[in-house]
Each structure stands twice: as C-alpha cells, then as structure tokens.
Structure 1
Amino acid sequence: MKRTIAQWLETDHGLGAVSDTPRLDLELLLCRVLGKERSYLFTWPDAALDAAQQAALEGLLQRRLAGEPIAYITGQQGFWSLDLEVNSSTLIPRPETELLVEVALSLLADRAGSPCRVADLGSGSGAIALALACERPAWSLVGVDRVAEAVALANNNAERLRLPNACFVQGNWCSGLALPAFDLVVSNPPYIDAADPHLGQGDVRFEPRSALVAGQQGLADIRTISEQARDYLSPGGWLLFEHGFEQGAAVRELMQSLGYAEVATRQDLAGLDRVTLGRWMERGEAGK
C-alpha cells in the first residue's frame, strides 16, 4: 500500500531511540529518496511514494536504526554556509568546529582582501579549508590528509562549490606542504584518548578511528603538528587547533614549551575550551 509523505511523517518509526532529532532525520531520509528539498515535503504532503521509493526509504531507515550517522546515509552535511559531500573515509563536520573558522578569520581580519597562504592539516572532507576559501577569495588554501579517499572527496567538494582557491593533497601533516611559508595553519586533528568511553557511543562508532584517536592522552598529533609547523609558518604566522574541552591547559602548555607566543584558548558557545592558538615569531627558529 502506497503511503503519502504526510503518512510517513506521522511517526518517528523508532528513530527516537537512536537520534536526538528523529523528525529531522526522517525528513532528510525522505528527501534523499525523493531527490527533493525539504520544502517539497511541506508543499506536497499528499504526494505518495511509489513501491521503489518506499523500499528505498525502509532500507535507509534500517541503517539509521542501526546507528549509522545520517550524514553517511545521505552523503551530505552542512557546515558553515556550505553543503558538503561526506563519506565514511572522513569525520562528519560538526558545528563546534565552526569556531576554528571564526577564530582564523578574526586573526587575519586586517588581511581579508589580501593574499594569504593557509594550510588545513587533516582536512577530511575539506570543511575548514573550504569555509575559509568561501569567505576569503583572495586567500590560497591547501588541505592535507593522509587518506587518498578523503583528498579526492575534498577536491570534489571544492570543484562542486566552485572554490578554485582551495586544493587538497595527500600527505602526513606538514610533510604535504610546500614552501613558501604559511600565514596560518589550522587543524582539527585526532585528539581523543584511546580509552575514552565515548568512542563506543553515537556517531563516532562509525567514523574512522584514525581520525579520532591519538596517543599521549590525545595530544600526540597536536604535539607533532606544533613541532613541524614551526618550519612552515611565516614570521608572525598563527597555528590553531581544535581540541577536547578538557585539553585547553595541556595544549597551551605544550605550545608555550615549543616557543609559540600569544598562546590562548577560545571557548565555544557552551563555554567549553575548544580552540587554542599560538604565534610563531621567527622563521626557522625550530631548527636551532
């Protein structure tokens, strides 16, 4: 029996057990099956799904009920002002990461219309670099990721969004960068300790563990990047990290011990430590 859009939306089909936003999830799954925007659901509530569409929707519902993130099922995730394609080779872009974009823009606000070289390390789907490229057309953005599938995805996003000032290359942190030096290096690296119980909960169960977990209580990759970036930053260039809400003090101490100046931590909308930044004042100082 065919069911209309309105009838499908009458219940959450059990999604409330796995999602904080069951109605939104169902709407997104319907949009995926129908190939329509959400406005269509409310404009044509009496439109009926055919047998193939109903079967497809039921299949997507089963995947969501098993806990698979809605972004992986639909292949899309919003970030900043962009609609990104995503897949299981990368983390799902999250709203709290937008703070990294905000801080980066504020640090170089006086150079909004001037050429700047910016690197995004561990770029994944390209969310951070592409948001910056969108806001600052005069800047040149390069994203680095060690996973070939992620690099291909990010370059596809750049092409689809028509952001020619961003490109993505395969590499391991700063090893993927080429001189000249960068005015800004940003990163949302792995920062979760392997013993963290949250790794067995929610969406992160389906995300690549290599993009989540780092040694040394989650600080290993932050340390590596902080050490390497000193050889790639212009004098006065900035290094910014997203990190866990309990890691602010540890990241500040680490960056200060490596010679960064003006080290500070910014809080997210929940008042939690989320982004720490530091400034490298002299080119080549790391090698002395």
Structure 2
Amino acid sequence: MNIKELIEKHGDYNENWLILEFLTDKKTFELKMDLRFCVDSIYNEFLEIIEKRKQNYPLQYIFGRWEFYDLELFVDESALIPRFETEILVDEILKLDCKKDKILDIGCGSGAISLALAKNLEKSYIYGIDISKEAIILSKRNKEKLNLQNVFFFESDIFLNVSEQNFDIIVSNPPYIDEAEMKTLEKELSFEPQNALYGGKDGVFFYREIINNSLYFLSDKGVLAFEIGYNQMEIISNLLIEKGFEILLQKKDFAGFDRIIIAKRR
C-alpha cells in the first residue's frame, strides 16, 4: 500500500497526515510530493492509532510529544496537553513593560509556559511548581530535552514550598473548570489529569488562593498573569481589584472567548 491508497481508504484528513508524519518522520509536504511512498511497514501502527482515536484517546498522548511556542515537548497523562490558546499568555508576558528577572509559574504541568519564557528570557530565572510529582518529572524531562539552564522545577501546593520572594511576575494557568462543567466534559478530556482541570465548585478556587497570597511573594511592582475560563473575566477582575491590583490587560482568545488577564500590584 502507498500513501495515495491509504488516504483514499481512510480519508484526506489533516489528522491522518499528522499520523503519517509521526510514523514516517517526514513532513506532510514531503509525503504529498511522494504519494507512491510505500507504507506497508507502518500500516498496522497507523490502524492502531486510528482505533485509539475512535476511543477519543488524545493524539498528543499517542505521539508522546507536542509543540508549544516553537518548542517540542514531551507530553503524557501526568499533565495537561499544552494548548495553542496558552501561547497568548506567553506572548503577553513577553510584551510586558516590566521587570522580568524572576518569574514563578504556578501549576506548570509539562513545563510549557516556564520553558517558553526561559527560552525567550535568557537572563531571567523561571521557577515552575506543581502539586503533582509526575508533572514535575515530566517538566524536568522537557528541561533536559531543551537544555535550558535558567528554569527550575519543584513540587509545591501553590505557595506551600516556595521559599523565594520578590517575584517580578507570577503566572498561572490553573484548573478552572467548575463543578457543573466537569460533568459535561468532552470525552477526550477524560484522559487528561482531572486535578489539573477541576477548579472547585465555582471554578475560581485557585485564583482566589493565588491572588489572596500573592502579595507575600510579589515584588513592589509585581504582576499577576492568568489564563482564565471563558466566563470568569468579571469575577477574577473583581478579586484582583479587591486585593489592590490594577488591571493592565484583558484579552480574548482566537475564538473570541475571554482568556487572559494581567494585573499589576498598586
């Protein structure tokens, strides 16, 4: 069987081309230029992946790697899959006109945000924390893969094990799905760690904890930067203002949903 025959049989879908990229270690444009390329040796693996996808098992976990902010990261079930929307948060932090010498990433998961910041802020020190031991193991694997020396990962339940202070920026993409929405999640999300999704009954438990305790860890002009749920802009903005923060930025994602909020300590 060649590529042309495989695509005719299984459909000219973008996902099928991604699977072929993964199995052949070739780019889609290369594959399309050589449609007679024989795929007999990988066809059974292709079928196995198709079967897993029918069960809604995430393609990213099948591949064991995914791209985030031009970095290829290891991914597995110990941490959420890095999302394209989260790249907006990294973008906005890099554009901030503020000191960025020391940054704390709360709930680092695979290390995506921390590593993207470390790669682009070579003179800064980035600290990534997560309550999950398995997530920290994964983030450290990614650090080694990328050979970044200015980022450090360790276990901590929010600020519990954080001994450093005077962070210029505290960033977080915490769990923010509320109790009601947890019952209606897409099946694909059921394979991702549930404790990285569930944000308490109203979805803002972790934002409250971070905001209420952040003044002990931020520098005098420190900044809080969050990714948020689509319906949480008002409540999180109010939490920040009540704690004495000035809102610097409220931004939507590519689908038009509220997604990013950044605030500065007054």
> Contact 2:237 / 2:247 at 8 angstroms: preserved in 1?
no
| Residue 263 of structure 2, aligned match among 256, 261, 278 | 278
Are 2:257 and 1:267 aligned? no
Q: Using the alignment, how far apart are the partners of 2:164 and 2:194 within structure 1?
A: 31
> Contact 1:118 / 1:142 at 8 angstroms: preserved in 2?
yes
Partner of 2:28: 38
Partner of 1:67: 56
Are 2:89 and 1:100 aligned? yes
The alpha-carbon deviation at position 26 of structure 1 amounts to 1.1
Partner of 2:192: 207
Partner of 2:77: 88
The more displaced of 167-176 and 235-244 is 167-176
* Per-residue CA distance 1:235-280 (angstroms, 9 max, x = gap): 1100111111111000011112222233642222333211112222
**Runs of 5+ consecutive residues of structure 1 not aligned to the other structure:** 14-21, 282-288
Are 2:163 and 1:174 aligned? no
Which residue identity lines up with residue 219 of structure 1 in the other structure? V
The alpha-carbon deviation at position 124 of structure 1 amounts to 0.7
Q: Which runs of structure 2 are paired with 1:47-58 in the superposition (5 Å)?
A: 47-51=37-41, 53-58=42-47
The alpha-carbon deviation at position 49 of structure 1 amounts to 2.3
TM-score relative to the length of structure 1: 0.85
Which residue identity lines up with residue 4 of structure 1 in the other structure? N
> Contact 1:88 / 1:206 at 8 angstroms: preserved in 2?
yes
Are 2:130 and 1:145 aligned? yes
Q: Using the alignment, how far apart are the partners of 2:152 and 2:119 within structure 1?
A: 13
Partner of 1:19: none
The more displaced of 88-97 and 191-200 is 191-200
Match of 1:185, SS state, is strand
The more displaced of 42-51 and 98-107 is 42-51
> Contact 2:106 / 2:129 at 8 angstroms: preserved in 1?
yes
TM-score relative to the length of structure 2: 0.92
**CA gap 1:197/1:225 in 2 versus in 1, 3 angstroms:** closer
Total equivalences in the alignment = 266
Which residue identity lines up with residue 195 of structure 1 in the other structure? A
The alpha-carbon deviation at position 122 of structure 1 amounts to 0.4
Partner of 1:162: 147
> Contact 2:165 / 2:216 at 8 angstroms: preserved in 1?
no
Which residue identity lines up with residue 53 of structure 2 in the other structure? R
Which residue identity lines up with residue 27 of structure 1 in the other structure? W
Q: Using the alignment, how far apart are the partners of 2:9 and 2:222 within structure 1?
A: 53
> Contact 1:256 / 1:263 at 8 angstroms: preserved in 2?
no
Match of 1:174, SS state, is coil
Q: Using the alignment, how far apart are the partners of 1:86 and 1:263 within structure 2?
A: 32
**CA gap 1:55/1:12 in 2 versus in 1, 3 angstroms:** closer
**CA gap 1:166/1:43 in 2 versus in 1, 3 angstroms:** farther
Partner of 1:23: 13
**CA gap 1:222/1:174 in 2 versus in 1, 3 angstroms:** same
Q: Using the alignment, how far apart are the partners of 2:175 and 2:59 within structure 1?
A: 22
The alpha-carbon deviation at position 86 of structure 1 amounts to 0.7
Q: Using the alignment, how far apart are the partners of 1:161 and 1:124 within structure 2?
A: 16
> Contact 1:186 / 1:241 at 8 angstroms: preserved in 2?
yes
> Contact 1:130 / 1:166 at 8 angstroms: preserved in 2?
yes
Q: Using the alignment, how far apart are the partners of 2:209 and 2:259 within structure 1?
A: 19
> Contact 2:2 / 2:40 at 8 angstroms: preserved in 1?
no
Query: Once the two structures are aligned, what percentage of the paired residues are identical?
Result: 32
The alpha-carbon deviation at position 180 of structure 1 amounts to 3.7
Are 2:68 and 1:79 aligned? yes
Q: Using the alignment, how far apart are the partners of 1:272 and 1:57 within structure 2?
A: 35
Q: Using the alignment, how far apart are the partners of 2:185 and 2:232 within structure 1?
A: 20
Q: Using the alignment, how far apart are the partners of 2:9 and 2:161 within structure 1?
A: 49
> Contact 1:238 / 1:277 at 8 angstroms: preserved in 2?
yes
Are 2:65 and 1:118 aligned? no
Partner of 1:16: none
Partner of 1:219: 204
Q: Using the alignment, how far apart are the partners of 2:127 and 2:249 within structure 1?
A: 25
Q: Which runs of 4+ in 1 moved over 4 A?
A: none
